[in-house]
Chain A
Amino acid sequence: MAWSNNLFYVAFLSQIYLMSYYFPNKVLARMRHVLATYPPTAYPKLYPKPIERHKMTHLAFKYVSRFILLLGFLILYATIFWVDHSTFADDGYISGFWPALYGMIQFLPLIVVELSEFSHLKQMRNAHTASKRIAELQRRGLTDLVSPALLGTAALAFAGAILFDLYVHDFDVGWGHDTVQRALVMAGTNGLLALVSAWHLYGRKQDPHQSPEDRAHKVAVNLKVGLYVSIVLSVFIAVTAADDIYSLDFIDATLVSVYFQAVSLLSLGYVLRSIKPEDIEFDVYKSDTAVT
């Protein structure tokens, strides 16, 4: 019992560090780098709203991330010192609820930043009055941007997780059984990921100035993120199913923590690694007089 809880503390500490310190710092550094390297005076099209609002967003993101970091340490402290309390543990094993709840909270500031990006791009589109439109005469199909092997792996992982779940329950499950619920969660999440992917592929061009190459690259990265998240979810569901017969309750919390870290690494981590400011064509954000 003690070793499994100790394992959780290490995993949870890693979750706190990765998702509430390392990644927020990286995101903040990236936002500040862009603002310093591509200032509004030289790249006015990149900043449709006053620069103070951008700085406010950076500050808000920083303080919310710090607050969530502190919250993580409080949860860690509570799970260490109230390990015998039923709120935090069952039979001495720390509940998976806490790393799951904390993981969802950790994603919140990143989701808010992502959503504020939509409003930023909308303002950019509203301010865009140029009559020149450019597009790449190259098909942007799903298999043109992601490898069929990755697509196949995601499909196999999805089918494999459901079949494995059925197998460990001797294919004897009724409506309302955990297996059905897990299959529905997977189908729902994958359906949502498919919708987001289709929107990336065929949806309206969000950034009116973005070069066709940058757009294709960003779409490819987003599609891959969707597939990685789908694969991680399938693996997690399969492990959860195995939990039912191998009684892995003692490492439930650790598995949930590892799952959230894997999702953040393969989504945010992959995006930060694949889309770097130095690879983006920022000249498109210069004023028209500066370009010509």
Chain B
Amino acid sequence: MQIVIHIDDPNPPFVQLIEQIRQAVSSGQLGPGEPLPSIRQLASDLELNNKTVAKAYRLLERDSVIQSRGYRGTFVHPDGRANSAVDLNAWVTEQLLGMVATFRKAGVTDPEINNVFRTVMNEQSD
């Protein structure tokens, strides 16, 4: 199976990578335990920075779609197919929509929500 990355796509390359690997696992094109290319190989083939591919792999590993087995490399997680259906982005969007609706109902303005959200995110990242 092939990965196709469009550099001028609005989605950054690591997001395109995640989406395509997730899609390949959920459709069964990549079965449980199947090996994935190394970060260096994929980065070299796609002419991307190693960090870009590493970031995509790290996020897929966090979602248990793939798993790293040390020096043996990276493989599709045994429960990867089921886990690939879990869309964390959609879940976060849903949660935020609910919260924003609650804040608006309480009379908080959008710039205030924006401001507080940014402050909280900055504090969390520190």
In the complex, what's the smallest C-beta–C-beta distance from B82 to chain A, in angstroms?
Answer: 20
A137 B7 Cβ-Cβ under 8 A:
no
The closest CB in chain A to the CB of B8 belongs to A131
A289 CB–B CB distance under 8 Å: no
B35 A205 Cβ-Cβ under 8 A:
no
Please report the total number of A residues contacting B with Cβ < 8 Å.
Answer: 19
B1 CB–A CB distance under 8 Å: yes
Please report the total number of B residues contacting A with Cβ < 8 Å.
Answer: 25
Report B-chain residues with C-beta under 8 Å of the C-beta of A215: 45
Report B-chain residues with C-beta under 8 Å of the C-beta of A205: 44-45, 47
The closest CB in chain B to the CB of A211 belongs to B2
The closest CB in chain A to the CB of B24 belongs to A137
B38 A137 Cβ-Cβ under 8 A:
no
B6 A137 Cβ-Cβ under 8 A:
no
In the complex, what's the smallest C-beta–C-beta distance from B19 to chain A, in angstroms?
Answer: 13
Q: How many A-B residue pairs have CB under 8 A?
A: 70
B86 CB–A CB distance under 8 Å: no
B41 A202 Cβ-Cβ under 8 A:
yes
Contact of A135 among B2, B6, B35 (CB under 8 A): B2
Scoring B residues 14 to 56 as 1 if CB is less than 8 Å from chain A, else 0, what string do you get?
0000001100100000100001111011101111100000000
| Separation of A201 and B40 alpha carbons in the complex (Å) | 10
In the complex, what's the smallest C-beta–C-beta distance from A270 to chain B, in angstroms?
Answer: 24
Report B-chain residues with C-beta under 8 Å of the C-beta of A133: 4-7, 45-48
B2 A136 Cβ-Cβ under 8 A:
yes
Contact of A202 among B21, B24, B44 (CB under 8 A): B44
11 contacts between A and B (CB under 8 A): A131-B7, A132-B7, A135-B3, A137-B2, A138-B1, A139-B36, A139-B37, A140-B41, A202-B38, A205-B44, A215-B45
3 closest A-B pairs by CB: A135-B45, A131-B7, A139-B35
Given contact pairs A133-B6, A135-B3, A204-B47, enumerate 6 new A-B contacts (beta carbons under 8 Å).
A133-B48, A134-B2, A204-B44, A205-B44, A208-B47, A215-B45
Chain A positions within 8 Å of B, measured between CB atoms, are: 131-141, 201-205, 208, 212, 215
